[in-house]
Amino acid sequence: MRIAISGSHCMGKSTLIGDFLSEWQSYELPEKSYRHVLNDLNLPHSSESTKETQKAILDFMCKQVKEYDKEKNVIYDRCPLDNLVYSMWLYHHGKSDIDEQFIGECIPKVRTALKEIDIIFYIPITKVVPTPEYVDNGFRDKDPNTRIEIDNLFKLLSVENRENPKSNYFEHDDKPPIIEIFGSRHERIQIMKLYLDGMETQLLLMKIYSVMRILLWKTLKHLKL
């Protein structure tokens, strides 16, 4: 199964991925992430990001998700949806050269790439759980309002994913569900278990059904001979 962890910056995504890999050791985390793109190309980022940066990150993410098929167990630190959210935020605030045309070019790329992901776990800002304290890792925007605004965009796209069958951001019949997870570290893992156990059973049944169809086809072909 191909899983992505998404959400605004400094929400505990890296911590969650570490806890996840301890619980599900059959999964792997790709060696490289979007951070390597920023370092390798020495690009401006966060609130200073540009078309060049956002395109480089999106191209990297789109290529990466195609490297793992449905048979692989992989978990991603962010995905193309995150890139789109940040690009939309930059466009809204007029903080870079990102314009409406650029956003329009990104949307179909993101929509296609998300077909390569089975489920997105999104960590929202909620009133139920205290928001994690800010920790500077060299990539995060330091303005607390930015984190809230980014989270609001994630919430809007989450609703779009769930309630709008004609959404321009997601393929109607081939899109990953966006599941909100929150709580303590233990509670987050328990929420993930509820969804993953059910999805893994469904995938297993689909595999069995596919094998049975192949066997049936071979049997019928043999009888015709």
Interatomic CA distance for residues 100 and 4, integer angstroms: 26
pLDDT recorded at residue 17:
97
> Residue 105 in contact with residue 87, Cβ under 8 Å?
no
Supply the DSSP string of 8-24, one letter for each residue: SSSSSHHHHHHHHHHH-
For the record, the structure tokens of 190 come out as 């328990």
For the record, the structure tokens of 72 come out as 């692989």
pLDDT recorded at residue 153:
97
Q: 5: pLDDT confidence band, cut at 50, 70 and 90?
A: very high
3-state helix, strand, coil in the chain (%, to 5): 55, 10, 35
Give residue for tokens 């199964």: 1
Q: 211: pLDDT confidence band, cut at 50, 70 and 90?
A: low
For the record, the structure tokens of 108 come out as 């179909």
CB atoms within 10 A of CB 157: 22
Q: Label residue 133 exposed, middle or buried (CB < 10 Å: 0-12, 13-18, 19+).
A: exposed
The residue that leads in pLDDT, 45 or 119, is: 119
pLDDT recorded at residue 206:
52
Q: 169: pLDDT confidence band, cut at 50, 70 and 90?
A: very high
The residue that leads in pLDDT, 26 or 95, is: 26
pLDDT recorded at residue 145:
87
Q: pLDDT tens, 12-63?
A: 999 999 999 999 999 999 999 988 888 888 887 778 889 999 999 999 999 9
For the record, the structure tokens of 73 come out as 């167990």
Q: The domain containing residue 45 runs over which residues?
A: 2-224
pLDDT recorded at residue 35:
86
pLDDT recorded at residue 140:
59
* Domain CATH for 130: 3.40.50.300
Q: How many domains does the chain have?
A: 1
Q: pLDDT tens, 175-195?
A: 999 999 999 999 999 999 988
**Total-model pTM:** 0.83
The residue that leads in pLDDT, 171 or 211, is: 171
Beta-bridged to residue 77, according to DSSP, are 5
Q: 98: pLDDT confidence band, cut at 50, 70 and 90?
A: very high
pLDDT of residue 171 exceeding 90: yes
> Residue 111 in contact with residue 84, Cβ under 8 Å?
no
Q: What percent of the chain has pLDDT over 70?
A: 84
Query: Mean pLDDT across the chain, nearest whole number?
Result: 87
